[in-house]
Amino acid sequence: MSEASPETVSGNDERDTGKARKLSDWQRFRQAGTYHGIAALALLSLFAAADTWYVTTGLMVANIISILNALVAGAFLASLFHEWGHFSGARLAKSYSPIVREVKGIFMFGFSYEKNTSNQFLSMSMGGPAGNWLLVALVFIFLPMDTPGRVTLLAMVVAKAVSVCVFEIPIILNTRNGGDPESEVNRQLSNGAGDRGSVMGYLTGAVLWLIAI
């Protein structure tokens, strides 16, 4: 799922899921984990190589490349932790949340408003922001903030965490107060919350970068 909108399972999605039953849910889970894991490892390796290049040489070009790699890796990892956070929340609540037949990007599962309860929706929704802030904590704890690239990585994952919270926290709160999950999502999509979240997130990341650098 993304901060823009939780996925729903349409009739076509369900038929595709049926066609994919030759692979068990566990097998599709492993495929998704492998695909995402390889992609994350590749981006982190590129960032680590550029960061090490800068540390060992002090070259401006190495610094610029490490910052660019940090922006890309941070954005991807934030989306990845967000999606897996949503998925974990859905599965912990025993939601109907089939893994897609073939994972080609970040999205890996569908969520049906009709087949799941409001409490299951809340569990799924809260998992996304929780995943983002878990990533923030991991980057802050395990990476010394002593190079511009590492500071950029932290700033990007914080920016994404703030962005998803601006969009999703109102949905969560309104649903807890009795709102209809699908209506709350559609309201946020139509009132510009996604754009506001992006602006607030990137501003927060930029301020953090300027302070930490």
pTM of the model: 0.89
Residue-wise pLDDT tens for the chain (213 aa)?
Answer: 444 444 555 444 544 444 445 788 899 999 999 999 999 999 999 999 999 999 999 999 999 999 999 999 999 999 999 999 999 999 999 999 999 988 889 999 999 999 999 999 999 999 999 999 999 999 999 999 999 999 999 999 999 999 999 999 999 999 999 999 999 999 999 999 999 999 999 999 999 999 998
Alpha-carbon span 156 to 208, nearest angstrom = 9
Alpha-carbon span 43 to 69, nearest angstrom = 8
Contact 196, 164 (CB under 8 A): no
Whole-angstrom CA distances from 98 to 16, 104, 135, 142, 179 are 11, 15, 25, 33, 25
User: CA angle 161-123-135, nearest 5°?
Assistant: 30
Alpha-carbon span 192 to 137, nearest angstrom = 28
User: What are the tokens at 20?
Assistant: 């994919």
User: If we measure between CA atoms, which residue out of 99, 108, 109, 111 comes closest to residue 26?
Assistant: 99
Alpha-carbon span 206 to 102, nearest angstrom = 36
The predicted pLDDT at position 103 comes to 86
Q: Tokens 């660019």 sit at which residue? A: 68
